[in-house]
């Protein structure tokens, strides 16, 4: 009998779960149907009551259908590993509905993509819109026929009792799997510091709820946080005619481009994307870079020149007054040094490698310190300043409350892992910042991390399916079966 790869793994999976759980659906990489067909012969016979439905089985369940989950699925599909991707909304939903309207990718289209697929109808040097990014992932799912099920919420993942593997409970049913990959990423719970109380009479929203200036109440706006989201949102609101205050914390601000090459290219050429750990003290430092308006270098002097008032870090609030840290000058200087250090490294690289790239001496020239540095504001009466809305561009936290497997989360609820591999066999994490390198949370970086995890799962599958042979296993000389023949006999017994 000839077996396809799908038949092989499905029937082997059915064997492993025999006596513990019964496979109720056929499944393989060639199907992305949300309702796989039942195995024939499992239905109730006439005159007999319908038995309780057993759990569906597969080898790998991937939780999350964003860039991390799709990357993981692509690698498993390439290796012929049966799996299911569960996504509570649509593919790449965060790009569709949890970002502001004018958002574009922070890297050019030639860079911010998977190595296996280019953007369609997007200039490689352009910065893809959020809709183009979401469509990119949906196109990949459709083209590769990846087994993604949308509109499915995972409610819990627990280790099976008395059997290997994990039980995945969802709002549409139960799935038992050998391996689970948590690919929901780091942007799950908006992080809003407890600084300004709700009763302060201000409209407060996180950057993930901001869409455009028209949605905001009349009056001025305070934006807290000066990473990519904060600076782009502040600039957009200021351009709409509103008065904007921007609270600036520690940040890196690489040049958008230098000597004819985008900063994404420079970080790659200099090996900075592959740093295995952040510099000491920089693990929570944000990056201020923008692809808006065709892409430009973020310089807080330019933001102040446009009319934005710069503040230090927001530290506290009382009786309508915001208390501001005396750190704006330090934060601006640190960002400037990050900018200049990359220029110097690029110049050294060009000279060392004999590259013929255009000179750009003016890029090294910085303007005078912003007014907010020379005359810092330490207290701001928000009503007097006309501030009616506060936007918190202060990042996100993780939410793995559905992952009920002891040993994979620390006391903060953060993953315990090395390169995505946890101390508990069969549970993996993907899509987190610095998972293996600086680029891990970016579109192209998560693809490489997913390849590593797919290989790790492949190694574990090899150990799982190993059949001892020869006299050391206890078999009689001359009677030992090869792993291939033993597996073939098991498959025949299964089917």
CB-side exposure of 113: number of CA atoms within 13 Å?
A: 25
Determine which helix (DSSP H) or strand (DSSP E) holds 492, and give its type and residue range: helix 483-494
- Of 19-23, 237-241, 355-359, the one with minimum mean pLDDT is 19-23
- Asked if residue 390 has pLDDT above 70, the reply is yes
**For the CA atoms of the chain, what is the radius of gyration?**
27
Whose tokens are 């692809």? That residue is: 291
CB 246 within 8 A of CB 226: yes
CB 144 within 8 A of CB 74: yes
Orientation of helix 67-78 relative to helix 443-464, angle to 10°: 40
pTM value? 0.84
Ranges 125-139, 386-400, 447-461, 468-482: which has the least confidence: 468-482
Question: Quick one: what percent of the chain has pLDDT higher than 90?
Answer: 81
Beta strands in 151-243 (DSSP E): 154-159, 166-170, 173-182, 189-190, 203-206, 220-224
Residue 480: the pLDDT is: 41
Residue 412 has pLDDT above 80, yes or no: yes
What pLDDT is recorded for position 473?
Answer: 54
Q: Label residue 17 by pLDDT band (50, 70, 90).
A: very low
Q: Is the pLDDT of residue 24 over 80?
A: no
pLDDT tens for 68-116 read 999 999 999 999 999 999 999 999 999 999 999 999 999 999 999 999 9
- pLDDT (mean) for 340-353: 99
DSSP β-bridge partners for residue 63: 86, 182
**Confidence band of 53 (pLDDT split at 50, 70, 90):** low
Please give the pLDDT value at position 27.
36
Are the CB atoms for 167 and 174 separated by under 8 Å? yes
Cα distances (angstroms) measured from residue 18 to each of 57, 426, 438, 491 = 11, 20, 44, 13
pLDDT attached to residue 285: 77
**pLDDT for position 278:** 77
pLDDT at 478 over 70: no
In the prediction, which pLDDT does 55 show?
A: 84
How far the first Cα of the chain sits from its last, in Å, is 11
Confidence of residue 471 (pLDDT cuts 50, 70, 90): low
DSSP-derived letter for residue 388 is E
Instruction: Give 102-161 pLDDT, tens digit per residue.
Output: 999 999 999 999 999 999 999 999 999 999 999 999 999 999 999 999 999 999 999 999
More confident residue, 25 or 442: 442
> What is the C-alpha to C-alpha distance for residues 183 and 450, in angstroms, rounded to an integer?
10
* Residue 491 pLDDT class (50, 70, 90 cuts): very low
Q: Which of 486, 466, 448 is nearest to 67 (CA)?
A: 448
How far apart (Å, rounded) are the C-alpha atoms in residues 237 and 244? 7
Decide if pLDDT at 402 tops 80: yes
pLDDT number for residue 284: 59
State residue 78 phi and psi, 5-degree precision.
-65, -30
The confidence score (pLDDT) of residue 483 equals: 43
Q: How confident is the model at residue 469 (pLDDT cuts 50, 70, 90)?
A: confident
The DSSP 8-state label assigned to residue 219 in this structure reads S
Inform me whether the pLDDT recorded for 33 exceeds 60.
no
Task: Give the per-residue pLDDT at 281.
Answer: 62
Which of 202, 149, 120, 158 minimizes the C-alpha distance to 388?
202
Q: Which residue has the tokens 């077996």?
A: 3
Mean pLDDT, rounded, of the chain: 88
Give CA–CA dist 403/422, Å, rounded.
Answer: 13
pLDDT-above-70 percentage for the chain: 83
Mean pLDDT of 385-396: 98
Q: What strands lie across the sheet with 244-247, from one edge to the other?
A: 203-206, 387-392, 220-224, 244-247, 309-311
Closest CA to 79 of 463, 457, 487: 457
Residue 370 CA: distances (Å) to CA of 24, 244, 289, 308, 310: 66, 15, 19, 11, 8
Which residues have C-beta within 8 Å of that of residue 306, sequence separation ≥ 6?
235, 238, 239
Give the span between the Cα atoms of 361 and 375, in whole angstroms.
30
The Cα–Cα gap between 217 and 270 comes to 45
Domains of the chain and any CATH numbers? 5-188+398-464 (3.50.50.60), 194-395 (3.50.50.60)
Residue 303: closest CA among 351, 365, 232, 374: 232
Burial of 105 (0-12, 13-18, 19+ CB in 10 A): buried
Q: Could you give the CA distance from residue 83 to residue 323 in angstroms, rounded to a whole number?
A: 52
**Range scoring the smallest mean pLDDT among 19-33, 53-67, 242-256, 317-331:** 19-33
DSSP 399-427: --TTB--TTSB-TTS-B--BTTB-SSTTE
């Amino acid at each position: 009998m000839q077996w396809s790869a799908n038949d092989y793994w499905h029937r082997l999976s059915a064997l492993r779960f025999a006596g513990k759980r019964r496979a109720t659906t056929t499944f393989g990489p060639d199907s992305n149907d949300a309702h796989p067909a039942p195995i024939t012969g499992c239905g109730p016979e006439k005159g007999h009551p319908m038995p309780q439905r057993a759990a569906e089985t597969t080898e790998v369940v991937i939780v999350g259908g964003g860039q991390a989950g799709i990357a993981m699925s692509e690698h498993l599909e390439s290796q012929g590993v049966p799996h299911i991707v569960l996504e509570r909304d649509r593919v790449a939903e965060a790009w569709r509905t949890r970002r502001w309207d004018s958002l574009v990718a922070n890297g050019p289209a030639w860079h911010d993509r998977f190595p296996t697929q280019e953007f369609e109808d997007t200039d490689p040097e352009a910065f893809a819109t959020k809709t183009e990014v979401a469509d990119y992932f949906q196109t990949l799912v459709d083209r590769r026929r990846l087994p993604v099920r949308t509109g499915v919420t995972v409610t819990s993942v627990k280790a099976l009792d008395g059997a290997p593997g994990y039980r995945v409970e969802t709002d549409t049913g139960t799935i038992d799997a050998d391996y689970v990959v948590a690919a929901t990423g780091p942007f799950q719970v908006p992080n809003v510091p407890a600084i300004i109380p709700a009763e302060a009479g201000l409209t407060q929203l996180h950057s993930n709820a901001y869409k455009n200036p028209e949605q905001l109440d009349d009056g001025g706006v305070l934006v807290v946080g000066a990473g990519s989201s904060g600076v782009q949102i502040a600039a957009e609101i200021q351009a709409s005619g509103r008065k904007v205050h921007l609270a600036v914390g520690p940040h890196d601000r690489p040049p958008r481009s230098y000597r004819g090459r985008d900063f994404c290219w420079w970080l790659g050429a200099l090996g900075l994307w592959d740093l295995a750990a952040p510099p000491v003290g920089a693990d929570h430092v944000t990056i201020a870079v923008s692809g808006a308006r065709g892409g430009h270098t973020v310089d807080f002097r330019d933001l102040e020149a446009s009319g934005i008032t710069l503040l230090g870090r927001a530290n506290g609030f009382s009786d309508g007054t915001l208390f501001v840290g005396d750190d704006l000058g330090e934060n601006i200087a640190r960002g400037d040094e990050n900018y200049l250090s990359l220029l110097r490294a690029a110049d050294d690289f060009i000279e060392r490698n004999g590259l013929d790239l255009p000179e750009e001496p003016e890029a090294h020239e910085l303007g005078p310190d912003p007014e907010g540095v020379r005359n810092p504001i330490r207290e701001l009466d928000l009503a007097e300043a006309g501030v009616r809305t506060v936007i918190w561009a202060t990042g996100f936290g993780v939410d793995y409350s559905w992952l009920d497997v002891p040993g994979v989360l620390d006391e903060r609820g953060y993953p315990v892992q090395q390169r995505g591999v946890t101390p508990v066999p069969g549970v993996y994490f993907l899509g987190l910042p610095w998972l293996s390198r600086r680029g891990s949370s970016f579109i192209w970086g998560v693809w490489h991390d997913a390849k590593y995890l797919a290989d790790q799962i492949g190694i574990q599958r090899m150990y799982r399916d190993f059949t001892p042979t020869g006299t050391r296993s206890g078999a009689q000389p001359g009677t030992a079966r090869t792993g291939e023949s033993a597996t073939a006999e098991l498959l025949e017994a299964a089917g």
